[in-house]
Chains A and B, each alone.
Chain A
Amino acid sequence: MTMATLQFEGAGKTYDGKTALDDVTLDVDEGSVVALVGHNGAGKTTMMKLLLGLIRPNSGQVKVLGIDPAGPDGADAKRSLGFLPETVAFQQAMTGLEVLNFYARLKHADLSRNPELLERVGLADAAKRRVKTYSKGMRQRLGLAQALLGSPKVMLLDEPTSGLDPALRREFYDNLSTLKQDGTTILLSSHALTELESRIDKVAIMSNGKLMASGTLNELRSEAQIPVRIRLHTQDGVASEIANRLGGADISRVNGRIIEFACSQEDKMILVRQVSELGVAIEDMEIELPTLDQLYSHYRSEGGVQ
């Protein structure tokens, strides 16, 4: 039996009687990229803190590489872990390189590789400047650099793209792809749903401390039964005729050249085959799968959150 790299087993956490996390069971397999999505206070940061052993679950258990991170062997788990907090803060009076050297020493990582690491995140020119003078984006990149120290097997990234401009976000996602290729297991939480879609293996949707759904995007799409939208561009004048021939589709709009309709995930291929049999009458076809945004609002409303 292969053990999941990160495990939540019925984990629950309350703060002063208020439930932050309620009976969450979630496995993150080795080498996968999993996104935690949810509103503020949905329990994402609580899950990160549990994985770091900063807090202990009130019920259930949490394991990192098979080790209880809050237990006596927690340090062993943390040696293979890289963490980027939501708001990353450093000693203001230190230079970027000094900060990185300090954390590298704590992790027994090779100090001589630090300049290279700073270059990788685009901070080579600012290495000798004090962190005080860094912009938010630069601090975030220094945060990523420290998370990468010692080439960790597992990365926990809490809102890694918040406060980054579009160019920096792209840069971040490039870094993410490299890590994924190296086989790093990544758990990240984010609000930027549309950006994530193509970059993750699995998603876990959180709402009010509960895990509403988890799985690959396709699994969630079929489970959620959100209709797929298809738009056909036809030759002039034949649109309404074709619309009549498409059985089983919920047609929402027809004009001279365009037909729009919705169908379930399962019926999608049947309809696509039907459409392809129509030959040259169809000039173009667009298929719109439910986005992560739609899935998120679906599961969120299911959880009774408005």
Chain B
Amino acid sequence: MNTTLIIAGQEIRDGFRNRWIIALTLVLAGFALSLTLLGSAPGGSVGASPLLVTVVSLSSLTIFLLPLIGLMLSYDAVVGEVERGTMLLLLSYPVARWQVMAGKFLGHMAILAFATIIGYGTAGCVAAFSGEGVDSKAWMAFVTMTGSSIILGSAFLAIGYLISTCVRERATAGGIAIGVWLFFVLIYDMALLGLLVAQGEAIGGGVFHALLLANPADAYRLFNLGGFENVAMLSGTIGMMADVKLPAWALGSVQISWVIVPLVIAGLLFKNKEI
């Protein structure tokens, strides 16, 4: 069996053993279900598809929760194993360092994907069966949202790996991870808003777009809340989307590069790291 897959398999098995997977799935399903059930009340009165309402509310949930989960899963992936001494043993085996990193990442990504698909899937099914107006377009929006949520989580997994490779102590990695989460999820948008208010005229549209794309959470928001016409209408972002004319493929590729770039940098740093 391929070395990368062996390491990924071990990571998944460890996730099941440590009850990490169960806990994540329950947290995601719990939040998703409560949002769906609470959110369906107003949806009924305006006749909106309950599944589309779910897409909107779950998108907002994802922006907060999945980056956090991604970082929590990965911040000690490298530094933690180095500290515990398991990395020393693993690297004494005939494995390449990139295989270790790729294997662990794939394992973590599978854990994240499993928890998201089960958690959101449950909520999606509940929403679909509780109301009318569920068409293939709504399902499409739902599936796309779930998929891009996994990609958003993976981007933060990759950022977590980068943090974990750079630092010498586990506690430092944890601190930086929380800082990164606060920055991208909370502070960034506020700062951007502040900048627009203060310097709105001076900043060109191109710069504004670039700033939005520079944050994986913003790229996710634009991709999901603006990507489907009905969703955009429900989420109230239709006006914004008229302004921000970014094609779906651009947003999608930005999200994917947020997964690949930090991971590749982490891999290069790990290659030359002295254990």
Contact = CB atoms under 8 A, between A and B. Distances in A.
Interface of A: 15, 49, 52, 54-55, 75-76, 78-79, 81, 83, 85, 87-91, 93-94, 98, 102-103, 105-107, 146, 156
Interface in B1-51: 1, 3, 6-7, 10, 13-14, 17-18
Interface stretch (B91-99, B180-188, B198-206, B251-259): B91-99
Given A54-B274, A102-B6, A105-B6, A93 B18 contact: yes
B16 to A, nearest CB: 9
18 contacts: A55-B275, A75-B96, A81-B92, A83-B92, A85-B85, A89-B85, A90-B86, A90-B89, A91-B10, A91-B14, A91-B86, A98-B13, A103-B89, A103-B93, A105-B1, A105-B6, A106-B3, A106-B7
A192 B188 CA distance: 58
> For the side of the interface on B, what is the size category?
20 to 34
Given A89-B86, A106-B3, A146-B89, A94 B14 contact: yes
Contact of A88 (B18, B89, B91, B96): B89
B233 interface: no
Contacts of A78: 92-94
Contact of A89 (B3, B17, B89): B89
B93 A89 contact: no
Contact of A79 (B94, B96, B274): B94
A141 B274 CA distance: 27
Given A91-B86, A93-B17, A105-B1, A76 B94 contact: yes
B125 interface: no
Given A54-B275, A85-B89, A102-B6, 6 more contacts: A15-B274, A89-B84, A93-B14, A93-B18, A94-B14, A106-B7
Nearest to B92: A83
Nearest to A82: B92
Nearest to A130: B17
A94 B14 CA distance: 7
A79 B94 CA distance: 6
A34 to B, nearest CB: 18
A102 B10 contact: yes
Contacts of B90: 106
B80 to A, nearest CB: 11
Contacts of A90: 86, 89
B78 to A, nearest CB: 14
Contacts of B88: 54, 85
A139 to B, nearest CB: 11
Given A79-B94, A81-B92, A49 B275 contact: yes
A55 B7 CA distance: 22
Contacts of B89: 83, 85, 88-90, 103, 146
A93 B18 CA distance: 7
Contacts of A156: 92
B24 to A, nearest CB: 16
A102 B90 CA distance: 10
A75 B95 contact: yes
A85 B18 CA distance: 25
A85 B81 CA distance: 14
Interface string B63-90: 0000000000000000000001110111
A81 B13 CA distance: 26
A85 B85 CA distance: 8
Contacts of A49: 275
A94 B17 contact: yes
